[in-house]
Chains A and B, each alone.
Chain A
Amino acid sequence: MSIDTTLQTIYDLPMSASIRENVNAFPLLESLHVVALAVVFGTIMIVDLRLIGVASHRREASRLIREFLPYTWVAFMLAVVTGLGMFMSNALSYAANTYFLLKMVALMVAGLNMAWFHSTAYRRISEWDETMPPPAAARFAGFTSLFTWMVVIFLGRWIGFTLEMVW
């Protein structure tokens, strides 16, 4: 099965059709998506700034990370679900949109950066938990994360202005 047939199958799902046909569904999904991304980036930003060396409301970086992580993940799940809802309503159009494809790449970069941080600097966090500024690896991960998530939001906003309907 080619990619196009898969996308067409997704497009033809009853749920995709109902998102397309209900006038309120799309704006509702968009609004929830913005709320979700605001929680995701809003909480990640606080952690990233701490990794870069901006003092937070507590000294220990590890506790700050653990404190925000549940909010970030729950909101990220909501962003994925609402994002999938929008995608399936016009799967072929999104798959043909450069900003959408670049956004998926940027999301992967954000994920890889997080995985890299967790398998390196984060393992030794007890050694620099209260050290200011944090080690170079942590600062690098913080900068990369801040930058990448801003790019994700930028690309996401541009999808709405460049999406061309493909049937």
Chain B
Amino acid sequence: MSLTTFGDWLYATPFSTALRQTTWVIPDVQTVHILAITVIVGSAIATELRLARVFATDRPVADVLSRYLPWMKWALVVLLVTGALLVIAEPGRTLTSTIFWTKMALVAGASLVTLRARRSLVVGMGDGSATQVEPATSRSLALLMLLVWCAIIFCGRFIAYI
């Protein structure tokens, strides 16, 4: 089954039709989607700029990360759920769009770095031992991560246009 056929099938399901035809659903789901991305961006500024050594440099990396990573994890869950609803409501606008799949690839990469690599820095250091050393994290990766989150927002908005 091709993506187009799948999209057509999805579009015709009663659930997809109900989402589309209830006028308030799409704007309100998009609002929650945007609120979730603000949680990600705020937390990413704090954590990635800390790792880039430009923000809160007097605080241990593990402390800053452990404060924000749980929020990022839950915001990602909300993004996924609301995003899935938006795809179900309008499969034709997303599943066959290059911008949409570019966004998905960027989201997968950024989530992986955040939930695996960034979390490992907390697990590795947050044991309260007196001999904590700063991890040698890449400053360019941290700044790249912020750019990727911005690119994700751009892709999200451009799905509606291209």
Contact = CB atoms under 8 A, between A and B. Distances in A.
Instruction: Name B's interface SS.
Output: helix
B153 A41 contact: no
Interface string A43-68: 11110000000011110000000010
Contacts of B144: none
A38 interface: yes
Contact of A37 (B38, B67, B161): B38
B141 interface: no
A42 B56 contact: no
Interface residues of B, number: 33
Contact of A34 (B27, B64, B153): B153
Query: Top 9 closest A-B pairs, CB basis?
Result: A42-B42, A38-B41, A42-B41, A41-B38, A31-B157, A31-B154, A57-B67, A42-B38, A38-B38
Interface of A: 27, 30-31, 34-35, 37-39, 41-46, 55-58, 67, 71, 150, 153-154, 157-158, 160-161
21 contacts: A27-B158, A27-B160, A31-B158, A34-B34, A34-B37, A34-B156, A35-B41, A38-B41, A42-B42, A42-B43, A43-B42, A43-B45, A46-B43, A57-B67, A58-B59, A71-B45, A150-B35, A153-B31, A153-B35, A158-B31, A160-B27
